[in-house]
Amino acid sequence: PQVLPPPDQAVIEGQEVTMSVRISGQPKPMLYWLRDRVTVKTGPRHVVCETEDGTFVMTIKSAVRSDSGIYTCRIINEYGTKQCEGRLEVKGMFDFFLYHGFDFNCCHFYECTNSHLTLFQ
C-alpha cells in the first residue's frame, strides 16, 4: 500500500478541520485514523468519508484544544502496513493571535476586585 501524508495544521477553537490522505494498494487497504496513538472514534464531530479518487477525508467539526496532537493515518492490507503523520494544533483565539505576532498594545484588560475596577494596559 501507498499513502500521501496530510500537512501540519494550526487552527482556532471552533473551526472545522479537514485532514485528507490519498491511498492506493491492491487489494484495497483498510484505513485507520489515530490521534496520539489512540484510534479516533468516528461520530458527529469526527466524520470520515472516501472520495472516488481514493482520498480519505477526516473532518473534525468545531475543533477543541483536546483535538490537538499527532494524527496518524495507518493503512493495512495483506502485503503490509504503511502510515503517515500530521500535527494538529488547536489554539484559543488569544493564543492564536499571540502565536501569529499580532500587536495587543491597543487592548485594555480589566480585573474586578473589591467592587472597584482596575485598569491594566
The CATH code for residues 2-120 is 2.60.40.10
Q: Parallel, antiparallel, or unpaired for β 80-91 and 9-12?
A: parallel
Residue 17 has phi, psi (to 5 degrees) of -120, 135
For residue range 3-35, list pLDDT tens digits in order.
777 889 999 999 999 999 988 889 999 999 999
- Domains in the chain: boundaries: 2-120
Nearest-CA neighbor of 32 among 81, 71, 75, 77? 75
Report residue 42 CA to chain centroid gap: 14
Q: What's the rounded Cα separation, in Å, for the pair 71 and 88?
A: 7
Q: What's the rounded Cα separation, in Å, for the pair 76 and 88?
A: 23
Q: What is the pLDDT of residue 52?
A: 87
Question: In the structure, what pLDDT confidence band is assigned to residue 86 with cuts at 50, 70 and 90?
Answer: very high
The residues pairing with 80 across neighbouring beta strands, listed in sequence order, are 77
